[in-house]
Amino acid sequence: MEGATKQHFFFHGLPGREAEKSKCHFCQIRSFTTHAEYPITITNIHDELVLEPGFRFVQNSHLGRGVQRANDEFRVGCDCQDAEECQYEGCTCLDELEGSDEEPDEDNIRYRRKKYAYHSHGVKAGHLRTEVLESRDPIYECHDGCACGPDCPNRFIDKYLGEIITPKEAARRRAKSDISQRKDVYLFALDKFSDPESPDERLRGPPLEVDGEFMSGPTRFINHSCDPNLRIFARVGDHADKHIHDLAFFAIRDIAKGTELTFDYVDGVEDSQNDAMNPATTKDMTPCLCGSKKCRGYLW
């Protein structure tokens, strides 16, 4: 991208071009802190469509009106001094993580319990542990409020970003959209911890939602497949903010270079609950065009 757009970036670096640069999609991605190591190119090889001028690439989700994080007095992070302590010495961030692995110590004498959701070393570093990958369990991680540093392996890679909005605002945007089902492509409910009996009032009612239509990251452009190679997991950093947990992407199988990344937009819905299995309702549903052998025929 840098070579092909050298002149483009030169002009946007000139005085008086600040407003134009702030609206430029190429410049927004180029400003990402990860761009030097993981550069991203925007390319459309299918048609002449371009991004809406008002769309904005962001590195972090934005909190919409009426959405708040927990107050500082409710925040807590682990006191671990290094990655070794986080992994083996009972990191408080991982107390709610289901299950654990065991591995031998350096002398191959006793086994130590591993608590990370994914492998932290070797060829599988960054891969979810099998039992987590095959589950619907949330992932718990360290975060900015922890004593351990940013190099702690218990920290995540990428997620679905957008504006986090209230249920009322989500309903208003659906109603305003010309085709409400089209709007659902961009809205993701943060409902992993929803529970009418929860002691946390923020988890008892309708969940907040992430809207990626007008601002998001590159993951916003990942398409649906009924036979996907990615899956979204709920990721929790600070336990006081479960109501605004992250939606983290992980590969569920090895993905060859050049293969399109996909995930199931209706993942977690049982066939018995899926309207696509009911011929009486499919006439009003959105056809699925994923083309996989496991295609269900309809999205929603």
Dist. CA 32–CA 29, nearest whole Å: 5
Q: Which of 140, 160, 186, 298 is catalytic?
A: 160
**DSSP state for residue 117 in the 8-state scheme:** S
Question: Residue 201: phi, psi to the nearest 5?
Answer: -60, -25
Residue in this structure with the two tokens 């004593």, named with its chain if needed: 147
Other beta carbons within 10 Å of 96: 12
User: For 264, how many CA atoms within 13 A lie in the half-sphere containing its CB?
Assistant: 18
* Known catalytic membership, residue 265: yes
Going by the DSSP 8-state scheme, the letter that residue 198 receives in this structure is: -
| Sign of the CA dihedral running 191, 236, 212, 293 | negative
Take residue 91 and report the two structure tokens written for it: 């990191």
Pick the catalytic residue from 118, 140, 186, 265. Answer: 265
Whether 160 is catalytic is yes
| CA distances for 265 relative to 137, 187, 227, angstroms | 18, 10, 11
Which positions ≥6 away from 213 have C-beta within 8 Å? 55, 162, 183, 186, 187
Quick count: other Cβ atoms within 10 Å of Cβ 27? 18
For residue 186, give the DSSP letter. T
Name the residues annotated as catalytic: 160, 265
